[in-house]
Amino acid sequence: MDLSKSGIKILVPKSPIKSRTAVDGFQNESPGKLDRIEQDQEDSVAPEVAAEKPVGALLGPGEERARMGSRPRIHPLVPQLPVPVTTTIASALTINGKGTSTFIEALATNGTNIQTSVTANKRRFIDERRDQPFDKRLRFSVRQTESAYRYRDIVVRKQDGFTHILLSTKSSENNSLNPEVMKEVQSALNTAAADDSKLILLSAVGSVFCCGLDFIYFIRRLTDDRKRESTKMADAIRNFVNTFIQFKKPIIVAVNGPAIGLGASILPLCDVVWANEKAWFQTPYTTFGQSPDGCSSLTFPRIMGLASANEMLFSGRKLTAQEACAKGLVSQVFWPGTFTQEVMVRIKELVTCNSVVLEESKGLVRNLMKGDLEQANDKECEVLKKIWGSAQGMDSMLKYLQRKIDEF
């Protein structure tokens, strides 16, 4: 098609810096008021929805989209031609059969060094920004996203005055605990113990808080070497529980959903437990084919009395959030619609307290029972290792999993 006879006018697009458009619903100010860094970032901002362009169509700066995903392809800035656009040049702008622009090839032939121009502009931009003050928000952002590279099964957010640890397991279902998950929680707690955090907030992502031990992970390894794997699993539980027993800073738990097995038994080892109205608590150890863990053989009778503790540990009675609060397992119960807001308001009140006062107060409450808790943890892990190493214990776990599969 001859463009000169068709009457179509071809205009050289203006710089996107001089003709800014509204982005994300905010009206633009005059270009003269824009900071230099904002101008450079605008080149990489793409519209929210990009229409698919046919092959050979002319695309303006920032309009070309990646074929996979929504990130725009950022090309070097191409200098404007110092000559009027003619029909010959317009035809050169089209894409040739090899998928490359003959216009770019012509620039390279004429000796235009695009890469050198971009490098020089980048160096000049860095020199201009060198003396400007450092933005503290950048450091906070790096600290916030650091956990994404360090952890796989949990999310760690360093907030103002406290550390927020969220169970978000990828190696297990329903935030179940296997040795890898337990090691990551221990690592996060050890880091928080050494930094300036005044307390820990422990919660979970999704509608389930924690479903206890990951039996599928465990049974797969028991088939190889039952004695060795049962010892490794018992040692992992012992170290995990001891980390909670020995932690000096207050641990606040926000239970957003079901807490089962070890997910429920560690709650008395924490200092304050807030629960969603929809949460429930259960320790069906005999159904699993195992004995109590997480010091529940000691803490449950002390908290709720021997009769109620035996009912939970032996018959696996399920407690609602209100029942758990009445028995002393939960501190307060909040409405689901405002659960997160209620928790954060109280956390912000706690972080205003002096850190030394918080640690010393917890020490006065916990130090008297620390030895008893460690002894109970050791005894429970020895019994678990004995049960898991036997054929009867293996059969009980397999029957439990089979019942779950049949129910599903």
Q: Name the residues annotated as catalytic.
A: 213, 262, 293
List CB contacts of 337: < 8 A, sequence separation 6 or more. Answer: none
Helix (H, G, I), strand (E, B) or coil at 210: strand
Q: Which residue type, as a one-letter code, is found at position 159?
A: Q
Closest CA to 204 of 258, 246, 140, 241: 258
DSSP type of residue 76: P
Can you point out the beta strands (E) in 293-386? 319-320, 332-334
DSSP type of residue 309: H
88-91: long-range contacts (C-beta < 8 A, 24 or more apart)?
A: 90/3, 90/10, 91/3
Strand pairing category for 251-255 and 259-260: unpaired
| Beta-bridge mates of residue 253 | 202, 273
Q: Which burial class, exposed, middle or buried, applies to 258 when counting CB atoms under 10 A from its CB (0-12, 13-18, 19+)?
A: buried
CA distances from 394 to 10, 378, 399 (A): 77, 21, 9
Closest CA to 218 of 186, 181, 243: 181
What DSSP element (H or E) covers 303? helix 296-304
Closest CA to 107 of 80, 146, 87, 67: 80
List CB contacts of 78: < 8 A, sequence separation 6 or more. Answer: 104, 107, 114
What the block records as the tokens of 48 is 């929210």
274 close to 342: Cβ distance less than 8 angstroms = yes
CB atoms within 10 A of CB 229: 18
User: Whole-angstrom Cα distance, residue 200 to residue 250?
Assistant: 6
